């Protein structure tokens, strides 16, 4: 059982990094996280520990042994379980008042609008090779006026990209055209995330 003032006590050490007003704003924020692997599960844990209470989390995969070296929610107790369910439990074990909407079939044309409904920001944790889904996410988020942030792992570092819905689009930045082959699209994406 959690104490009555759980939120205030659990996230009190954030004050100083944030003002009390900013902490309350974080509390009322809803974040959409597409992909719950190495990046996405870390985003979920980090933002839950910052006091965010609203999450839309999407992934169609289950945890496997090969996930152990890099995925925050991976451990032997969750092998074979859906990543969305495990990450949902992880978030709620940090903050029992978190309200999470799970998209256990990943994101697709049928559910992308629901995935982005009512969210404040989008975090891209999609697998590198899942290009068409990523492109759909960025373009739909832009239509809805949402920022998308990607912190793509590159070697032992990261490339952080922030797409402003009023700035350069995903297709413009990576120079993507529909006439490109899937391989050409991946090459351009890879070059764009590598400084």
The pLDDT profile of the chain, 195 residues, written as one tens digit per residue, is: 567 789 999 999 999 999 999 999 999 999 999 999 888 999 999 999 999 999 999 999 998 898 888 888 888 898 889 999 999 999 999 999 999 999 999 999 999 999 999 999 999 999 989 999 999 999 999 999 999 999 877 778 888 999 999 999 999 999 999 999 999 999 999 999 986
pLDDT score recorded for residue 72: 81
Residue 38, class by beta-carbon neighbours within 10 Å (0-12 exposed, 13-18 middle, 19+ buried)?
Answer: middle
Alpha-carbon gap, residue 148 to 67, rounded angstroms? 25
Beta bridge partners of 162: 149
pLDDT score recorded for residue 194: 86
Rg (CA), the chain: 17
Copy the structure tokens of residue 185: 């699209």
Copy the structure tokens of residue 73: 């929610």
Alpha-carbon gap, residue 138 to 80, rounded angstroms? 30
pLDDT score recorded for residue 148: 98
pLDDT score recorded for residue 1: 55
pTM: 0.93
Q: Determine which helix (DSSP H) or strand (DSSP E) holds 102, and give its type and residue range.
A: strand 99-103
pLDDT score recorded for residue 154: 79
């Amino acid at each position: 059982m959690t104490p009555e003032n759980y939120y205030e006590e659990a996230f009190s050490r954030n004050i100083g990094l944030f003002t009390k007003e900013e902490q309350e704003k974080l509390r009322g924020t809803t974040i959409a996280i597409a992909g719950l692997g190495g990046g996405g599960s870390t985003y979920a844990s980090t933002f839950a520990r910052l006091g965010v209470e609203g999450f839309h989390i999407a992934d169609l995969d289950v945890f496997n042994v090969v996930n152990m070296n890099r995925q925050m929610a991976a451990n032997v107790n969750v092998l074979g379980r859906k990543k969305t369910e495990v990450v949902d439990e992880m978030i709620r074990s940090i903050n029992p008042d978190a309200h999470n909407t799970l998209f256990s079939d990943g994101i697709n044309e049928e559910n992308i609008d629901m995935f982005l409904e009512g969210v404040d920001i989008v975090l891209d944790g999609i697998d590198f090779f899942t290009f068409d889904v990523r492109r759909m996410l960025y373009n739909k988020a832009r239509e809805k006026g949402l920022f998308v942030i990607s912190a793509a792992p590159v070697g032992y570092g990261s490339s952080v990209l922030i797409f402003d819905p009023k700035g350069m689009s995903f297709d413009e930045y990576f120079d993507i055209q529909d006439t490109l082959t899937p391989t050409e699209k991946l090459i351009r994406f890879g070059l764009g995330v590598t400084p």
